[in-house]
Amino acid sequence: MEKKFIGMIIVIILAVVTVSGCIDDGSTNSTNNGSLFNDGPVFNDEKVFFDYPSDWAKYTPSSYDPDRVASLKTSKGETSLLGVFVSPAMGGSIEKYKSDNEPRPGETLISSEYITIDGVRGFDISLKYYSNGGGEQRIIGFIKNGNYYRMIFTTGDLDAIKSDMDIVTNSFKAL
């Protein structure tokens, strides 16, 4: 009789726990979708994952680039744009890709350095350009999983979007 009573209590406890949702069902529903910033949206597709500020919005650029996986914009820093590109690395080194993105005639270097992004060595170049009304760009690139990843921030004022760029770059993951 005592064993039946204990068995019955165990069954009741399991039923209550199951109904109340106290057992993890293995689902991945979370309020922030894995974001490092609870209140900000995330970009997540089969190639990249990153957080971005809530005042940035996805948009469709006027020109098509098959390597472009994300396009975002905001009104900060006049109008600021972010393009994220992924292409096969084709055996290139990070030094070559950095060199390919150094300023061209008509552009002025602001800064150029090697950084660590998503656990690998990459580059971070900031420059001023003077064509089409002028502005500033920050280009961040790295190689991972056989692909070359590049983020290009284009704006009238990089300082105006510094914290936004930090949110994107600090959360950026190659998938």
**Helix H segments across the chain?**
2-20, 94-100, 162-171
Structure-model confidence comparison of residues 12 and 15, the more confident one: 12
DSSP string, 99-125: HHTSPPTTEEEEEEEEEEETTEEEEEE
**Shortest CA distance to 70 belongs to which of 171, 161, 151?**
151
Ordered strands of the 48-51 beta sheet: 42-44, 48-51, 173-174
The pLDDT of 73-94, averaged and rounded, is 94
What would the CATH number be for the domain defined by 35-174?
3.40.1000.10
Q: How do strand 107-117 and strand 68-74 relate by DSSP bridges?
A: unpaired
Contact 150, 167 (CB under 8 A): no
Residue-wise pLDDT for 34-79, tens only, equals 555 446 899 999 999 999 999 999 999 999 999 999 999 999 988 9
Contact 141, 63 (CB under 8 A): no
Domain ranges of the chain: 35-174
What are the φ and ψ backbone dihedral angles of 10, each rounded to 5 degrees?
Answer: -60, -45
81 has pLDDT over 50: yes
